[in-house]
Structure 1
């Protein structure tokens, strides 16, 4: 089985995450896409990230009606920073019959050569880059190790959604209705 892994903070998961996963699935011929929230993203300040179980729940709500999307908690099982190399090693041990593709946003591609144990990682997984507004990776590493997929360029981020919530503005049509309801019910991202 060909499985795409879309890792991230998902704080919150939004419609561009879903669109990216769908475009990668179709264009790369993937059987499934697994959404994998990070426990402690190594590139973010842990104090500013919402509770991991709440982020996982939002992912579950966002994808519940899509049979080939799946929420996984592999990175939530381990303490410490979530390094992709460690996670992929664990997944390959658990699912040796699967072929894994790691989906990343275009904004992350330039940083990819600096990832933890990247030279070993590119031997274990195929990276799939999703175009994002304002980012045009043009380096030798990306050309050698990243297969790009096209998608509509929509400039939407979790940071923008959190900011709108803090300002009391609507996030409708940026996240699924179930995720929006969960955010509102749990008073996430409101001004403190």
Structure 2
């Protein structure tokens, strides 16, 4: 009996406040060009130390991700961090994922800006020692691939300069930014911002 190879699963964690085409295009690229079988969008819960106005409701942000990824079988939305102890540390999330899904090989997806700060992450050395990391380029944060540890790989994905802050501000100002968002996400957000007015 032959055992199938573990599914290479990218872990894309973020607030997704809201999810936009930059997030989706990056994840799409990683599946189609960088060898991932799937990308899981892990929606981060609201940090109690941050201002409440900074983040939309946890369940609403998860719903927007679910709307954005429907129809593409390589994407999955996850709320696993909602039930983990706070503050939410990446190492604990990865440990939990590996315990729940031993048939998968996980790849943590982070931007080059976060990679430069990575030594400050909680148990960063263990994250690198026990996991694969894929680092995507962010403008102003160049990284030399020669200096990366064995488990860390730089990917040459296109760079998308779109921020969730820009999207929220545009919607608050009544701008039509439909092409920055999945159509279903734009519709849900427009309804949400219209209700608030």
TM-score normalised according to structure 1 size: 0.89
Q: What whole-Å deviation, never above 9, does each CA across 1:64-94 have from its counterpart, x for those lacking one? A: 0101101111011224222111100001101
SS of the aligned residue for 1:76 comes to helix
The Cα shift of 1:132 comes to 2.2
Q: Which residues of structure 2 form unaligned runs of 5+?
A: 1-6
* Structure 2 counterpart of 1:116, from 90, 112, 122: 122
The Cα shift of 1:156 comes to 0.7
Taking the aligned partners of 2:29 and 2:143, their CA distance within structure 1 comes to 18
SS of the aligned residue for 1:55 comes to helix
Larger C-alpha radius of gyration, 1 or 2? 2
Taking the TM superposition and a 5 Å limit, the aligned residue runs for 1:66-85 are: 66-85=72-91
Taking the aligned partners of 2:140 and 2:196, their CA distance within structure 1 comes to 29
Taking the aligned partners of 2:47 and 2:155, their CA distance within structure 1 comes to 24
1:16 aligns with 2:9: no
Q: 1:55 to 1:162 in 2, by over 3 A?
A: same
The Cα shift of 1:138 comes to 4.5
Q: Which residues of structure 1 form unaligned runs of 5+?
A: none
Contact kept in structure 2, 1:38 and 1:75, CA below 8 Å:
yes
SS of the aligned residue for 1:135 comes to coil
Aligned equivalent of 1:45: 50
The Cα shift of 1:41 comes to 5.0
1:63 aligns with 2:65: no
Aligned equivalent of 2:4: none
Q: What whole-Å deviation, never above 9, does each CA across 1:6-27 have from its counterpart, x for those lacking one? A: 0000000010101111222233
Figure out how many residues of one structure are paired with residues of the other and give that number: 189
What is the RMSD of the two structures over their aligned residues, measured on CA atoms? 2.3
TM-score normalised according to structure 2 size: 0.87
